[in-house]
Amino acid sequence: MDRLAPVRRMTRGLDRRTAVRAGVVATVAYAAWLAIGTFGRPYNFFDMKIYHGAVVWWASGHELYDFIAPSTTLGFTYPPFGGLVMLPMALVPVEVAGWLNALASIAALALVLAALLRPIVDRLGWPLWFTVGIATPMAVAIEPGRETLGYGQVNLLLFALVMADLVGLRWRARRGTRFDPSDGPLRRFVFGGVWAGAGIGLATAVKLTPALFIAYLVITRQWRAAATAVGTAVGVTLAGFVLVGTESRTYFGGVLWQTERVGAADMTPNQSLAGLLARLYDSIETPGLLWLSFSVLVLALGLSRAASARGDGDELTAFTLVGLTGNVISPISWSHHLVWVIPAIIVLADAAVRRREASRGLMPRAGQAPPYGGLPGVNGLRPPIWYPTLTGLRHGVAAVGLYLLFLVSPIWPYEHQLPEVSHYQDGLFGALMENSLALALIVLVAALPWRPGAEPAFYADRLGRTAPAYARR
C-alpha cells in the first residue's frame, strides 16, 4: 500500500471522464492507423528521397537542378529558397529526414486544428485537447494527410504557414489598434498580428501556388497583410539570388517552365482541372484553351465567393475557398496537395451544428408561449417536432461524405496511364471514380457554404469600416 501511494496521488486529479476521453483518442488514433493501412498505398518517403538526394548532391559541389533521382526522370522542382531550407537534411540519413518531416508535419497540423477548432469548441463547451486529439489522426488518415507523410512532402508545413496568417489576421482584427499600456513591444508584435502575411510570403517563396492568397488579400483590401506577403516573398527570393545566384537564375530562367519535370497532366494523382480535362479527352496533354477558359471561370468564382465569405465574417471559409481554388486551377495538383479539404470538412460540420442550434430557437419551450409574436408558429403553423433534428442534415451528410471520399480515395483502384491503358478502360463509372477528387474540389469551390458571423472579430471589423461614425461609438 505504501508503494501504491505515489500512484494514487498522481491519479487523484484524473476523473473518469478524462480517462474515457483519453481512451477515445487512443482508439481513434489506432483506427486511423488501420485506415491508412487499408486505403493508403505503400509509402517509403519516395519524394523525400528525391529532396534528400538533391541537397546531398548540391552540398557535394554539383548544380542543384542537374540532379536526377536514380531509376527516375525526376529532379528537384522547388525554388532555390526551398533548397536552402532543406539543405540541413544533407546531414542526416534519408529515413531520419523522412521521420523528422512526418513528426514536424503532424505537430503543425495539430496546431492548425487547435487554432481552427478553438472558436467552435468554446461555443460548444468541448475540451480543446480532446477535440484536437480526435481531429488530428482523422486528418492524417485521409488522402492528403497520409500521402504527404508517406511520401515525405511538405504540404502540411506550407498549410500551417498560410493558416498562421489567418490566426494573425484574427488577432489583429480582434485587438485593432488598442493595446494594454503594460504590453511590451514583443507582445504587441506577436498578439497584435502585425506579422500577418509573412506566412503566405514564405509559403509562396517555397511553392508558387500560395501566391493566390496574395490576390485574395488585395481583393478584400487587406493592404497591410498583402504588402507583408509580397515583401516577404520578394525579400526571400532576392536573398536567394544573393546567396545562390546560379541556382536562382537556373530556376527562374528555365526550370520553372519545364512542367514535364513533375509528370504528365493525365496521371491519375493529378486531381486538378487540367488533369480532369486531360483524362476526359483521354490525352496525355490538357486541351489548353479549354483549360484556360474554365480556369478563369473557377478563379473568378472562387475569389468572389471567398470575398463574400470574408464580408460576412467567415475568414476560415474564405481562406478555404482560396486554397481549394488554387488546387483546381493549378496545372498539377497531386492528391497530397489537397490539404484544403481538411478545413472544408470542418466548415461543413460546423455549419450543420450551427443550423441545428439555430433551429432550436424556432421551437417553443415547455411553459413558454410560442415564438413569432405569440402565434403558434409561422403563419399559424408550428414547426414539426423533428425540425431541429433535420435542420443542417445536408451539411452534416456533406461533411461525412467528403471525409469518406478522401478516406477511401477511389481514384487508385481505377488508376490508368496513357498510352498503355485508356482512361475509359473501366467504363464511365471507372472514369468517374478516377476523377472523383477533382470533381469534389470543383463542387466545393462552387457550393461550400460560409457561416455568417462565425468570426466575430472580422465581422466587427467590417461593421467598423462601413457603419456611420455615430454607430461605431
What 8-state DSSP symbol labels residue 378? B
Name the grid cell of 26. 487512443
Share of the chain above pLDDT 70, in %: 82
Dist. CA 351–CA 202, nearest whole Å: 31
Residue 291 Cα distances to 149, 229, 295, 298, 330, angstroms? 30, 28, 6, 10, 10
Dist. CA 150–CA 169, nearest whole Å: 32
pLDDT band at 467 (very low <50, low <70, confident <90, very high): very low
Long-range contacts of 21-25 (CB under 8 A, 24+ apart): 21/127, 21/130, 21/133, 24/130, 24/134, 25/130, 25/133, 25/134
pLDDT at 346 over 90: yes
pLDDT band at 387 (very low <50, low <70, confident <90, very high): low
User: Which residue has better confidence, 361 or 26?
Assistant: 26
pLDDT at 469 over 50: no
Name the grid cell of 222. 487587406
pLDDT band at 253 (very low <50, low <70, confident <90, very high): confident
Question: HSE (CB half, 13 Å, CA atoms) of 131?
Answer: 19
pLDDT at 360 over 70: no
What are 3-20's pLDDT values in tens digits? 655 555 555 556 788 888
- Average pLDDT on 345-371 reads 71
Closest CA to 368 of 388, 357, 360: 360
Closest CA to 216 of 331, 294, 321, 341: 321
Dist. CA 33–CA 37, nearest whole Å: 6
83, 236 contact by CB (below 8 A): no
pLDDT at 301 over 80: yes
What are 126-170's pLDDT values in tens digits? 899 999 999 999 999 999 999 999 999 999 999 999 999 999 888
Query: How many other C-beta atoms lie within 10 A of the C-beta of residue 257?
Result: 9
pLDDT band at 179 (very low <50, low <70, confident <90, very high): low
Residues with Cβ within 8 Å of 426's Cβ and at least 6 positions away in sequence, in order, are: 414, 416, 433
Question: HSE (CB half, 13 Å, CA atoms) of 64?
Answer: 25
User: Which residue has better confidence, 109 or 371?
Assistant: 109
- Average pLDDT on 287-312 reads 95
Query: How many other C-beta atoms lie within 10 A of the C-beta of residue 34?
Result: 10
Dist. CA 35–CA 180, nearest whole Å: 49
User: Which residue has better confidence, 380 or 224?
Assistant: 224
| Bridge partners, 270 (sequence order) | 334
3-state DSSP helix/strand/coil percent for the chain, to nearest 5? 70, 0, 30
What integer best gives the mean pLDDT of the chain?
85
What are 84-121's pLDDT values in tens digits? 999 999 999 999 999 999 999 999 999 999 999 998 89
pLDDT at position 419: 86
Domains of the chain: which residue ranges?
Answer: 263-362+379-461
pTM of the model: 0.87
pLDDT band at 374 (very low <50, low <70, confident <90, very high): very low
Dist. CA 387–CA 389, nearest whole Å: 5
Question: HSE (CB half, 13 Å, CA atoms) of 129?
Answer: 6
